[in-house]
Amino acid sequence: MEDWNTIQQALLITVIGVGLIFAVLFVLWGLMAALVRLTAPRLPVATPPPPAAPSATVDAGHAARRRAAIVGVAVALAIEAERAATAPLLQPTPGIISPWQATMRGNALSRRAGVFQRTPPSSR
C-alpha cells in the first residue's frame, strides 16, 4: 500500500464503508424478520362444526336467511344514523364576518401576495 496514491486509498475506504453499511442493514433485516416470526400471535386451529340433522336443515336455512335479513336492516339503519349524525358537522355554517375579520384577512392576503411580487434588488 505504500505505492498507492490518495485516490486509490479513498476508493478503498469508501468501498469498505459501503460494504459495512450494507452488512449491518442485512443483519438488522434478519433480526427484524426473526422478531416478527417469534412474536407473531398464533391462531388456534378451528374445528369443523358437527353435521346437522337432515330435518333441521330446512328450518336452519330459513333461520339463517332471516338472521341475514335482520343483520342487513340493522347495518343499513346504523349507516343512516351515522350519516345523519355527522351531516351537520360537515357543512360549514354560513355567517356574516365582522369588518375586523375582513380587514385582517385582507391584510394577510396582501402580505402573502407581496412575497411573490418582489423585485430583485438592483446591483450597482
Report pLDDT digits (tens) over 17-43. 999 999 999 999 999 999 999 988 877
pLDDT at residue 17, as a whole number: 97
Identity of the residue numbered 35 = L
**Contact of 47 with 55, CB cutoff 8 Å:** no
Give alpha helix (H) positions in the chain: 6-39, 56-90, 99-116
91, three cell numbers: 357543512
Phi and psi dihedrals of 117, rounded to 5? -110, 20
Grid cell for residue 79: 349507516
Alpha-carbon 8 to chain mean position: 46
User: Could you tell me the pLDDT band of residue 70, with boundaries at 50, 70 and 90?
Assistant: very high
Q: What is the separation, in whole angstroms, between the first and last Cα of the chain? A: 55
Each domain of the chain, given as residue ranges in start order, spans: 1-39
CA dihedral 42, 46, 47, 48 (to 10 degrees): -160
SS3 91: coil
